[in-house]
């Protein structure tokens, strides 16, 4: 793109009054030639003390800015809405679309030509990508990277995953509350996001597989000096992406999403990636459906032995060769066509990749599991689909028939789970936890087991809900049932005692009663659905789409790529 056509020049070029205003207020150290047509690059930064996983991104942003200067651009720090997974109530997911919408509007309304997106914690990279796609400015991501591995009494701690494990041990009486409290200070060893293959690590890897990072960057630990070097390079690259006019719509094709699905399966990534990828594709008008995840991903071997499904942690994956070494093993399943932000295809980066530790990254010939992708279930309990991650489930439960024990809300569950009539063959059903019902589709789908069954040694049961689950969690957990109960889905009509069939090999999820359609919605379920009166929550509940469409807002799908022209003065 020529300098005179540059977006920022629509604000800064010329000697009129408005160009004067735009330049004069920016000249706090910026020389006059900063406005001569060189690319202006926003650094969209989700650093926040209330998003501890991203708190270090301001240091990363300085390396990006150095790179932008070095390549002849002008870096502009742009703090954007940040979402901390562990603190936000009722769930960070409620605000993903808000962060995406706010970031989209700031990218559109400001005089910038490109953007470097700094994210890490679960929802931050998806929100940034959704925003960048809807504005379609040259954009690339610098994932903030995972934290280093912490240890408790000699045992490595997987953050997230081990919280679930240790708290279940407390409930089962095999770990004292005192020791549980002692482990708390060992959980988070360094800057960075969760070190398991949870949602943050998954989304970083998937973003690289989409082509939206410099290849080889995702998974670089947050404290690793390599991260700052690659941040610098990302800053430089953003400038050439503007001159070459390489945009999200240039990089992100249907084949890029299918490559990301292959990566998602090979790394054993989080089910949350399904919702996020569908939402990102929806911004670009790329035709991607829930069933693509099963069709493309379910035959892909699981190669990465990371918690929550396996043993190791992100630091180990990086040491073992990282995502590129994984992708090299499944290169035949990847499309060589889509380019990355560098302009080169993803697959052109694989020939140099090597596995350095075969206990962490298994070679294709000896996978951890032959087929490991996310399975998409259909049936009268989830007409628009539901998902399960077989790699994180108990093999013996993947085909199971049991009696439903139904809970109308997570509060109802918490209040009654230890007194309700239940055995290990029961199927636990939780409703009212979808996008509209909660609202925001929280990560409660891996709800815990009844204490009396835990005490008897039961460690997994079939659980079904319209919720999501933490990417750090595990179990035979059917998630994202759509339509959700609060959108009139059949989950709202199931009753305790109904026989339920889970048949993952045949992709079925059925409640085996003849009169399901004719039944009324359970009143207790309807009473528990959210009815926010005002503000974002009201807008969200009125407009959010179901999980099988990415849980975006209906009016945020697609893009508006024309820059605004009307002046403010």
* Minimum CB–partner distance for residue 441 and ligand FES (Å): 17
Structural contact between residues 318 and 224, judged by C-beta atoms closer than 8 angstroms: yes
Residues 279-298 that bind ligand FES (CB under 6 A): none
Give the nearer residue to ligand FES in terms of CB position, either 198 or 435.
198
Give the nearer residue to ligand FES in terms of CB position, either 52 or 434.
52
* Minimum CB–partner distance for residue 470 and Mg ion (Å): 4
Helices (H), 211-308: 225-243, 248-251, 254-267, 272-284, 290-297
Give the nearer residue to Mg ion in terms of CB position, either 85 or 224.
85
The listed partner (Mg ion, ligand FES, none) that binds 86, CB under 5 to 8 Å by sort, is ligand FES
**127 interacts with Mg ion by CB under 5 A:** no
Please tell me the count of residues contacting ligand FES according to CB under 6 A: 10
Among 75, 138, 160, 437, contact with ligand FES (rule: CB under 6 A): 160
3-state secondary structure of 242: helix
Give the nearer residue to Mg ion in terms of CB position, either 107 or 469.
469
Q: Please list, residue by residue across 145-166, b when 16 or more beta carbons sit within 10 angstroms of its beta carbon and e when fewer do.
A: bbbbbbebeeebbbbbbbbbbb
Within 10 angstroms of residue 184's Cβ, the number of other Cβ atoms is 11
Structural contact between residues 129 and 280, judged by C-beta atoms closer than 8 angstroms: yes
* Minimum CB–partner distance for residue 300 and ligand FES (Å): 24
Rounded distance between C-alpha atoms, residue 510 and residue 501, angstroms: 5
Stretches 75-83, 131-139, 191-199, 282-290: which one binds ligand FES (CB under 6 A)? 191-199
The phi and psi torsions of 306 (rounded to 5 degrees) equal -120, 150
Rounded distance between C-alpha atoms, residue 168 and residue 192, angstroms: 26
The listed partner (ligand FES, Mg ion, none) that binds 318, CB under 5 to 8 Å by sort, is none
Residues 42-81 that bind ligand FES (CB under 6 A): 53
**86 interacts with ligand FES by CB under 6 A:** yes
Helices (H), 442-499: 451-455
The listed partner (Mg ion, ligand FES, none) that binds 53, CB under 5 to 8 Å by sort, is ligand FES
Structural contact between residues 73 and 83, judged by C-beta atoms closer than 8 angstroms: no
Rounded distance between C-alpha atoms, residue 275 and residue 279, angstroms: 6
Tokens linked to 123 = 């929802």
Given the structure tokens 């998937």, which residue do they identify? 206
Within 10 angstroms of residue 225's Cβ, the number of other Cβ atoms is 9
Stretches 48-56, 120-128, 397-405, 525-533: which one binds Mg ion (CB under 5 A)? 120-128
**193 interacts with ligand FES by CB under 6 A:** yes
The listed partner (ligand FES, Mg ion, none) that binds 200, CB under 5 to 8 Å by sort, is ligand FES
The listed partner (Mg ion, ligand FES, none) that binds 470, CB under 5 to 8 Å by sort, is Mg ion
**122 interacts with ligand FES by CB under 6 A:** yes
Helices (H), 43-109: 57-70, 96-109
Give the nearer residue to ligand FES in terms of CB position, either 437 or 471.
471
**194 interacts with ligand FES by CB under 6 A:** yes
Structural contact between residues 477 and 394, judged by C-beta atoms closer than 8 angstroms: no
The phi and psi torsions of 500 (rounded to 5 degrees) equal -120, 135
Give residues in contact with ligand FES (CB under 6 A). 53, 85-86, 121-122, 160, 193-194, 198, 200
Residues that bind Mg ion (CB under 5 A): 85, 122, 199, 470
């Amino acid at each position: 793109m020529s300098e005179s056509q540059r977006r920022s020049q629509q604000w800064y070029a010329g000697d009129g009054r408005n160009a004067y205003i735009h330049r004069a207020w920016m000249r706090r150290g910026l020389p006059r030639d900063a406005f001569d047509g060189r690319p202006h690059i926003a650094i969209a930064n989700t650093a926040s003390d209330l998003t501890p996983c991203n708190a270090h991104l301001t240091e990363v942003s300085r390396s990006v800015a150095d790179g932008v200067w070095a390549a002849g651009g002008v870096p502009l720090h742009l703090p954007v809405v940040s979402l901390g997974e562990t603190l936000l109530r009722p769930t960070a997911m409620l605000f993903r679309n808000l962060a995406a919408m706010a970031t989209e509007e700031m990218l559109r309304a400001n005089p910038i030509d490109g953007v470097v997106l700094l994210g890490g914690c679960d929802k931050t990279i998806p929100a940034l990508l959704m925003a960048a796609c809807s504005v379609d400015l040259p954009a690339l991501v610098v994932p903030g990277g995972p934290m280093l591995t912490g240890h408790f009494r000699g045992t490595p701690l997987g953050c997230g995953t081990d919280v679930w494990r240790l708290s279940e041990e407390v409930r089962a009486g095999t770990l004292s509350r005192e020791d549980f409290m002692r482990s708390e200070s060992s959980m988070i060893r360094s800057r960075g996001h969760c070190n398991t293959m949870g949602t943050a690590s998954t989304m970083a890897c998937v973003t690289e597989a989409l082509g939206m990072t410099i290849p080889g960057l995702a998974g670089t630990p947050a404290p690793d000096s390599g991260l700052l070097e690659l941040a610098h390079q990302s800053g430089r690259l953003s400038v050439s992406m503007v001159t070459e006019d390489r945009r999200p719509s240039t990089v992100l094709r249907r084949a890029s999403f299918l490559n990301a699905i292959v990566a998602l399966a090979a790394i054993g990534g989080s089910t949350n990636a399904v919702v996020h990828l569908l939402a990102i594709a929806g911004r670009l008008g790329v035709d991607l459906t829930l069933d693509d995840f099963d069709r493309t991903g379910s035959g892909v071997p699981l190669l990465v032995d990371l918690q929550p499904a396996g043993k190791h942690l992100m630091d180990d994956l990086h040491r073992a060769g990282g995502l590129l070494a994984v992708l090299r093993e499944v290169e035949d399943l990847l499309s060589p066509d889509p380019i990355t932000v560098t302009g080169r295809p993803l697959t052109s980066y694989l020939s140099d990749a090597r596995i350095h530790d075969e206990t962490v990254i298994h070679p294709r010939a000896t996978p951890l599991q032959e087929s490991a992708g996310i399975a998409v279930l259909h049936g009268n309990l989830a007409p628009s689909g539901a998902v399960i991650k077989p790699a994180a489930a108990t093999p013996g439960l993947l085909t199971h028939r049991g009696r439903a024990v139904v809970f109308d809300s997570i509060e109802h569950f918490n209040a009654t789970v230890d007194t309700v009539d239940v055995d290990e063959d029961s199927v636990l059903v939780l409703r009212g936890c979808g996008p509209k019902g909660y609202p925001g589709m929280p990560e409660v789908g891996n709800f815990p087991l009844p204490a009396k069954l835990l005490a008897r040694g039961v460690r997994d049961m079939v659980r079904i809900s319209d919720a999501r689950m933490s990417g750090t969690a595990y179990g035979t957990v059917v998630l994202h049932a759509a339509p959700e109960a609060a959108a009139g889905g059949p989950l709202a009509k199931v009753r305790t005692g109904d026989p339920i069939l889970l048949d993952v090999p045949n992709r079925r999820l059925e409640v085996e009663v003849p009169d399901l359609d004719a039944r009324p919605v359970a009143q207790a379920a309807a009473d528990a659905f959210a009815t926010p009166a005002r503000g974002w929550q009201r807008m969200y509940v009125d407009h959010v789409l179901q999980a099988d469409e990415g849980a975006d807002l209906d009016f945020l799908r697609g893009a508006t790529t024309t820059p605004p022209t009307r002046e403010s003065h």
